[in-house]
Structure 1
Amino acid sequence: MATRPRARRLRRALLAALVTASVAVPVSGAARPAAVPAPAPAALAPLTAATPAALAERYAAGRDGILAAERAAAHHGDRARAATLRELAAPTRQFLSFDGRDGGRTAEVVGDLARAERVAVLVPGSDTSLDTYERFRAGAVALQRELGGRSAVIAWLGYGTPGTVSPDVLTPALAGAAAPHLVAFLDELAVAKPAARVSLLCHSYGSVVCARAAADLRAADIILYGSPGTGADTVRDLHTKATVWAGRSAGDWVGHVPHVRLHVPFATLGFGTDPVSGAFGARTFDAGSGGHGDYLRPGSVPLRSLARIVAGEYAAVSRDA
């Protein structure tokens, strides 16, 4: 009987979060990055081989798309967005795809994808857009440096992420819409790099995206970190052949999120079982003591753990016998 009062408290906490988010939406919505116009990107043929020549052609197309978006932002009078896009268009940057509309959609390669034997794909969480993109990319750079040679990291911003203070962050709706795009991207990557070991690293709300796509993902690992839950009760419910990992830092505020799932009219709120719990059944790893945004910080415990998982060095990081 003691579990019922606790469940009611968790439900009240989740509903209170929804009310708070709903009140904040009118304030935050005016500044949404989607307000900056950008042209539709040119259609791209599928990448069938990750040869240096094919990749150079794809990266050039991505650069052309970024410069077109930069011109549109400048014409719109958004100097900050235009400056950001000029930085993205630098000759050293490598975009497999780019779409400047609706806050931005990107797939940027860090490292030499043509020679890579290990490929990590990062899926971001809330509040990730072109306006905050460099923070996301910095994690990809740190991970690739930790991995070293014969590796590449792809920063995949392939969906419209929810705002941390918005009702969207409490429901799987955006994740459900994003999942097919993630599956399609990994399918293309598998064709282009059939011999590479591919790992999916899913941060925060990004773990909900990965869970919704899990059954169809072509990856060796699905790594959930800083996750509020996945919408699944157990790893078995993900129906994936990948090895599923979960980690959470001791200082991560997500540890205080109620792990419940409520079905209300027209929506489902919350994401259920805690991914680092024994009940969920994922393999766990040491994620240190940092905060929610510290998992890919250079020199950190979780960065080392994530790099070893991507490299297939399971014994070096697993907390499970």
Structure 2
Amino acid sequence: MRHGRRPLRVLLAVLVTAAVVVPLTAAARPAVPAPAPAALPPLTAATLEQAYTANRANAALASRMAAAHGDRHRAAADSALASPARQFLAFDGRGAGRATEVFGDLAHADRVAVLIPGSDTSLDTYGRFRAGAAALYRRLTLRPGTRTAVVAWLGYTTPGTVSTTVTTQARADEAATKLREFLRELRSVTASGVHVSLLCHSYGSVVCGRAAPGLAADDIVLIGSPGTGADSADGLHTRARVWAARGTDDWVADVPHVRVDLFGTTVGFGTDPLSPSFGARVFAAGDGGHSDYFRPGSVSLANMARIVLGETSEVTRA
């Protein structure tokens, strides 16, 4: 069965690579009206609930505006985010949308995992990104006595999987600045000495690679990564431990790990993070595909939970 999937994986890799020189065009989606983000005080442990309340109200307003515009899909997506049970540090319903959601008690957590998404993640597809964060949080809570929180950070406009932007660092450079700012803000909310792990999926690993120098994180975990833009873990210039994994059925394995200058633009992200020459701590991710890293019960989810919890001696190696 896996052998039969190989042609599809190769085709996907070729499409992603070919998008550099043969851009695929599509009709632009009409803009969906949405309010400006809610005005919030500086985030601290004391203002968390105020931020959660204001962002839920903003999502509810965005849902009503999308419904009036005739976009039922976006209206439903925004309405789900406005649920009283949801906790958002940030929400912006304009354009593709941005959101930063918290699972757990962030102010009192000893260990925090921050998920950085890859391509094709927006408010319209947010449900699948959120599902991964929720699965990780449930897995972390299986260990008693440890206070944990998970943050799903959709803090940038992700590129399309088949596009020119997905093969360059431009979006990652923009996102890296925002990610650094967010992690500094996160430290003002959490307890002193909190351990922060970044779980960076697909193009999100490019974002983490670009943000890595000086980043306020303890672990950087690269999953399904096309590369980071650096030739080695040392080249990321970070004090964080660098981990990497890829499922055996992930089509990213067939994307060329190169970095070349093409028409004045640097294309590709260089060395495979799983390569021995890169120097990351490589761990097992099982036989899953590109979208399976946070699947409940998976090898990859179990190992990422161990990294977040500091159970590094129990992480199974590839």
Tell whether the structures are fold-level matches, with TM greater than 0.5. yes
Q: Which residue of 1 aligns with 2:263?
A: 265
Report how far residue 35 of structure 1 moved: 2.6
The yes-or-no answer on 1:62 pairing with 2:61 is no
Report how far residue 24 of structure 1 moved: 5.9
Alignment of 1:77-96 (within 5 A): 77-96=70-89
Q: Which residue of 1 aligns with 2:36?
A: 40
Structure 1 letter corresponding to 2:274? V
Q: SS at 2:269's partner residue?
A: coil
The yes-or-no answer on 1:153 pairing with 2:150 is yes
Q: Which residue of 2 aligns with 1:131?
A: 124
- What is the rounded CA distance, in whole Å, between the counterparts of 2:157 and 2:31 in structure 1? 13
Q: SS at 2:160's partner residue?
A: coil
Residues 232 and 272 in structure 1, CA contact (< 8 A), matched pair in contact too: yes
Structure 1 portions without partners, runs of 5+: 1-12
Which digits, 9 at most, give the CA deviation of each residue in 1:120-148, with x for residues without a partner? 00000000001110100000000001101
Greater mean alpha carbon deviation, residues 38-47 or residues 138-147: 38-47
Report how far residue 15 of structure 1 moved: 8.5
- What is the rounded CA distance, in whole Å, between the counterparts of 2:164 and 2:32 in structure 1? 22
Alignment of 1:158-197 (within 5 A): 158-193=155-190, 194-197=192-195
Structure 1 letter corresponding to 2:166? V
Q: SS at 2:238's partner residue?
A: coil
Which digits, 9 at most, give the CA deviation of each residue in 1:142-185, with x for residues without a partner? 00011015111100000000000111111110000110100000
Q: SS at 1:296's partner residue?
A: coil
Q: Which residue of 1 aligns with 2:6?
A: none
- What is the rounded CA distance, in whole Å, between the counterparts of 1:17 and 1:180 in structure 2? 25
Q: SS at 1:26's partner residue?
A: coil
Q: Which residue of 2 aligns with 1:216?
A: 214
Alignment of 1:273-292 (within 5 A): 273-292=271-290
The yes-or-no answer on 1:122 pairing with 2:115 is yes
Residues 36 and 76 in structure 1, CA contact (< 8 A), matched pair in contact too: yes
Counterparts in 2 of 1:23 and 1:142: CA distance versus 1, 3 Å: same
The yes-or-no answer on 1:315 pairing with 2:313 is yes
Residues 284 and 318 in structure 1, CA contact (< 8 A), matched pair in contact too: no
- What is the rounded CA distance, in whole Å, between the counterparts of 1:196 and 1:91 in structure 2? 27
Residues 15 and 162 in structure 2, CA contact (< 8 A), matched pair in contact too: no
Which digits, 9 at most, give the CA deviation of each residue in 1:1-23, with x for residues without a partner? xxxxxxxxxxxx98974444665
Structure 1 letter corresponding to 2:165? D
Q: Which residue of 2 aligns with 1:6?
A: none
Structure 2 letter corresponding to 1:301? V
Structure 1 letter corresponding to 2:309? A
Report how far residue 45 of structure 1 moved: 2.2
Aligned length: 302
Report how far residue 60 of structure 1 moved: 0.4
Structure 2 letter corresponding to 1:180? T
Q: Which residue of 2 aligns with 1:3?
A: none
Structure 2 portions without partners, runs of 5+: 1-11
Structure 2 letter corresponding to 1:38? A
Structure 2 letter corresponding to 1:317? V
- What is the rounded CA distance, in whole Å, between the counterparts of 1:23 and 1:107 in structure 2? 34
Structure 1 letter corresponding to 2:179? L
Structure 2 letter corresponding to 1:25? L
- What is the rounded CA distance, in whole Å, between the counterparts of 1:318 and 1:219 in structure 2? 22
Q: Which residue of 1 aligns with 2:246?
A: 248
